[in-house]
Structure 1
Amino acid sequence: MTPRPLIAGNWKMNGLLRHLTELEAISGACAGMGEGKDLLICPPATLLSASAGLLFGKAAIGGQDCHAETSGAYTGDVAAEMLADLGATYVIVGHSERRAGHGESDADVRAKAQAAWRAGLTAIICLGESAEDHEAGEKLRVLGAQLAASVPDGMSAKNTVIAYEPIWAIGSGRTPTTEDIANVHDFLRQNLAERFGKEVADGVRLLYGGSVKPDNAAEILAIVNVDGALIGGASLKAADFVAICRACPSSKD
């Protein structure tokens, strides 16, 4: 049995109240589409509450990051419990833009994943190699190290999703070949099985992210061990996000 697919949209630092019209369009188009697949939007924190109301029953809502602590003197940060309080059920941790732009280490990502679990959220743990690592043939070594250090003990299919996003592909319009994507996802599944056991590993959803668009989504989502997608820019436009959701099969059985 293959994992239930997940199509997740990451709005990043985009979106004002007036842009909720895109969510309204997504909500209308997604009615009934969630049968056999899960849909998720991760808007900026300022839109979480309004988004939860608009998408209730049609798509899930998630945060884009969380702090490892429950509360405290952390000006500008958001606790996982705060996200859950607004209706979020997922949170992205370890995105390459957080790792690079905010200096987050694998240990930081692991702590945030544990915080997500503590709050009852599913952690979407992101992994990805740089262009330099990719070109040097270090991709699998880098990904294996990130996977080992970023994923806490106690991972399950219920509390964790793994997202592979090659850094050089994010927002670039470039994507790896289907063979490259398949090799990475096979590698991740095998590594998870060695650490957590085959039953757990087979149930964990492995997403691909990095320039996923309506015109390449069907090909990417048909790859074995690709259980959905983490979408950036294309999730900001209802028509593009809905087209990708429609391209996702309910299962690969």
Structure 2
Amino acid sequence: MSSRKFFVGGNWKMNGSKGELDNLVNLLAKNSSETEVVVAPPFVFLDYLHNKKTNFGNNITNYIIFFIALSGQNCYKESKGAFTGEISPKMLKDVGADWVILGHSERRHVFGEKDDLIADKVAFALKEGLSVIFCIGEKIEERENNLTEKICFGQLGAIKDKIKDWSKIVVAYEPVWAIGTGKTATPEQAQEIHQALRKWLHDNISQDASNKTRILYGGSVTGANCKELAAKADIDGFLVGGASLKPEFANIVNSKN
């Protein structure tokens, strides 16, 4: 039995309004779980949700919300400067975020972020005191050419020499071909790559990093498939996109119960 605490992240991407976010967090508040839950709303709503946390008063719903951590969806590698449209780790912390998602496939393949830039951002976010959900994953043509491990190991390798402490990193394996497509890796396929990633951590970082680093699965995770995925030995949780905006997200959070 793994001692790694089960972790579920909800990446709300460019979606939501204050009212919709209220509904989502109130839904989560009705569920008791030992799972570590982190939600990543659009930047403009981080302060709003942080204020709900810090002003919970005697309201039990808001009290439970207090235990849901907040994440940014991205940040830059500098603390300040002439970088129009960017957000710094310090700014994220100032509005209540403890985490940031970096290396997401949409940042890599829609906005063109390369491994070296992502590695710099990961290193700087950690230096500034944020924990990092670090995303890796292959595209469909790479999987069809049996390049899954090569791609994922390369993406991990890009941060290897810039990171000394892995205790504040959660790795999220998200096969690009399964994100928002309705397709998902079978539990066996997901376990196979998670096991390979854990071995990479053992061989390239340390036994301690291999034992303790949580490796999440992301890619069309739903309330219907989450329990079978969560039962696999090396799957330590999920990074959820579309389903994190729906009532079934509560089922995913409780999938390990």
- TM-score, normalised via structure 1 length: 0.92
Identity %: 36
Give the Cα–Cα distance (whole angstroms) in 1 for the partners of residues 241 and 165 of structure 2: 25
Residue 204 (structure 1) shift: 0.6
Question: Is 1:248 aligned with 2:246?
Answer: no
Give the Cα–Cα distance (whole angstroms) in 2 for the partners of residues 104 and 24 of structure 1: 31
Structure 1 residues 151-205: Cα deviation after superposition (integer angstroms, max 9, x where no partner): 4331322x10100000000001101121211111011111111122111221111
Give the Cα–Cα distance (whole angstroms) in 2 for the partners of residues 177 and 16 of structure 1: 34
Give the Cα–Cα distance (whole angstroms) in 2 for the partners of residues 142 and 184 of structure 1: 11
Contact 1:169 1:176 in 2 (8 A): yes
Contact 2:137 2:176 in 1 (8 A): yes
Structure 1 letter corresponding to 2:132: A
Give the Cα–Cα distance (whole angstroms) in 1 for the partners of residues 46 and 82 of structure 2: 22
Residue 19 (structure 1) shift: 1.5
Q: How many residues align?
A: 244
Residue 62 of structure 2: aligned partner: none
Residue 181 of structure 1: aligned partner: 190
Structure 1 letter corresponding to 2:166: S
Give the Cα–Cα distance (whole angstroms) in 2 for the partners of residues 83 and 27 of structure 1: 23
- SS of match in other structure, 2:133: strand
Residue 9 of structure 2: aligned partner: 8
Residue 99 of structure 1: aligned partner: 108
Contact 1:44 1:63 in 2 (8 A): yes
Residue 57 (structure 1) shift: 2.3
Structure 1 residues 64-84: Cα deviation after superposition (integer angstroms, max 9, x where no partner): 000010000001100011001
Question: Is 1:137 aligned with 2:146?
Answer: yes
Residue 28 (structure 1) shift: 2.4
Residue 109 (structure 1) shift: 1.0
- SS of match in other structure, 1:65: coil
- SS of match in other structure, 1:23: helix
Question: Is 1:154 aligned with 2:152?
Answer: no
Contact 1:110 1:149 in 2 (8 A): yes
Structure 1 letter corresponding to 2:50: A
Residue 27 (structure 1) shift: 4.4
Contact 1:23 1:51 in 2 (8 A): no
Give the Cα–Cα distance (whole angstroms) in 2 for the partners of residues 27 and 50 of structure 1: 17
Q: 1:30-41 to 2 correspondence within 5 Å?
A: 30=31, 32-33=32-33, 35=34, 37-41=35-39
Q: Which runs of 5+ in 1 are unaligned?
A: none
Residue 210 of structure 1: aligned partner: 219
Q: 1:161-172 to 2 correspondence within 5 Å?
A: 161-172=170-181
Q: 1:127 to 1:24 in 2, by over 3 A?
A: closer
Give the Cα–Cα distance (whole angstroms) in 2 for the partners of residues 109 and 176 of structure 1: 25
Structure 1 letter corresponding to 2:26: A
Q: 1:46-85 to 2 correspondence within 5 Å?
A: 46-55=44-53, 56-85=65-94
Give the Cα–Cα distance (whole angstroms) in 1 for the partners of residues 218 and 47 of structure 2: 25
Give the Cα–Cα distance (whole angstroms) in 2 for the partners of residues 165 and 118 of structure 1: 25
Contact 1:49 1:87 in 2 (8 A): yes
What do you get for the CA RMSD once the two structures are aligned? 1.4
Question: Is 1:233 aligned with 2:251?
Answer: no
Structure 1 letter corresponding to 2:249: F
Q: Which runs of 5+ in 2 are unaligned?
A: 54-64
Structure 1 letter corresponding to 2:252: I
- Selected match of 1:224 from 230, 233, 241: 233
Moved more, 114-123 or 161-170: 114-123
Q: 1:24 to 1:145 in 2, by over 3 A?
A: closer
